[in-house]
Structure 1
Amino acid sequence: MGYLLDSVRSLSMTLKNAFRKPTTVHYPAVKRERAERYRNTFALLHDSTGDEACVGCLQCERICPSQVITVIAEKKESPVSGKRRGYAKDFTLDLNACIFCELCVQVCPTDAIVMTRLPEEPGYTREALCLTMDKLYANETGKPLAWGTATKLMEMQDPKRGQPPPEPKAKPAPKPKAEAPKADAPKADAPKADAPKADAPKVDATKPDAPKSDAPEADGT
């Protein structure tokens, strides 16, 4: 009896899972939509004017830890703007040794190289895993692109990301204008003290006596 009950319990679990919605699919017959940040292979892009975005700066080649990127740069006249600028004459990326670190995407100054989020079909030769320049530009329109570009990835590494914007500093109060020096009012001349007048010599009002004559006075007649 116990054996029969155990069998029924096992069958009940089997029947329960038989009607459950499956969580897996038969790949590659059925392919699910990949997450935006899923990355698999690479693509080269054009800019908004339709010109090749790669300027041949070789930064992706220098930073690659596996040394799987080879770029031959040249300068020529742009067919769009007519200005002389840098281009990639040849661009090769070998997926045989790629570790998908995405460093080449982060350092690109023009967002020219990105990764795609469509699983790559398996290759049966090493040459099939070598992405030439034509294959990279074909992936731009033939496969959905991953979320990450150099601009977005560098914004994520910004130390100020997520912080509230700083409060605007109060403007300093304007300094009072310096007053022009006032002209000194002319000082009133102090009244000059009158100089003491010299006293005029006093004339003696008394008349001097007339000199007496020495002649004898005549007798009266």
Structure 2
Amino acid sequence: MTGVLLSGVLDDGVAGLHAIAERGGRVVVQDPGDALYPSMPQHALQAVTSDYVVAAHDIGEVLAKIASEQVEVVPNTAPELLVWENEIAGGGRVEKTAGAVGGASEFACPDCHGVLTDIDGGVRYRCRVGHAWTAEALLAAQGSALERAIWTALRTLEEKAALCRRLADQARQRGNDRIGERYDRQAEENSEAAKVLRHQVGVRG
């Protein structure tokens, strides 16, 4: 078994390298100084003891060397956590519950909104469906969800203001000035709320 991790963002792939290293496999990581995006190799080097840290153009030679080595066959004694993760990732029947390998966290899965299980002391999380997250990847996903929610709220406020103005005009055309004024106030309230939201998030209209 050999794991290779190249340039990338966040810390994707670190859990896989960790599992390979636990089973006696070789770990090859691109030199962060050679990577276009050094975050992923840096996280790997912090979490796993790598056998080789090389530039991308040297990885082929390293893999050829590893492939020619004689290795000792390791008995199939995969850790309980790895077996459980493989079961849920494969979509088959999961024999063990989430509680058997970790405790329920306070976080929801950004993909399916199910409760995430803390399987590695706050470093990695899994949901029952099979979505896997490191803490850093989860933080990034939550940030994306928050940004989407803000844009949705801003768009909704501006659409409500525009609709209220249209209803106010229609009311006045029918001679209902009082109703028109009520819609005007609602339009102003929504416009003001949108301005406040734009100001808070630094968005210019």
Determine if the TM-score, normalized by the shorter chain, exceeds 0.5. Answer: no
Give the TM-score category using the shorter length: under 0.3
Q: Which fold has the larger relative contact order, with Cα–Cα distance below 8 Å and residues 6 or more apart in sequence? A: 1
TM norm structure 2: 0.20
Q: Greater CA radius of gyration, 1 or 2?
A: 1
**Structure whose residues are more often helix by fraction:** 2
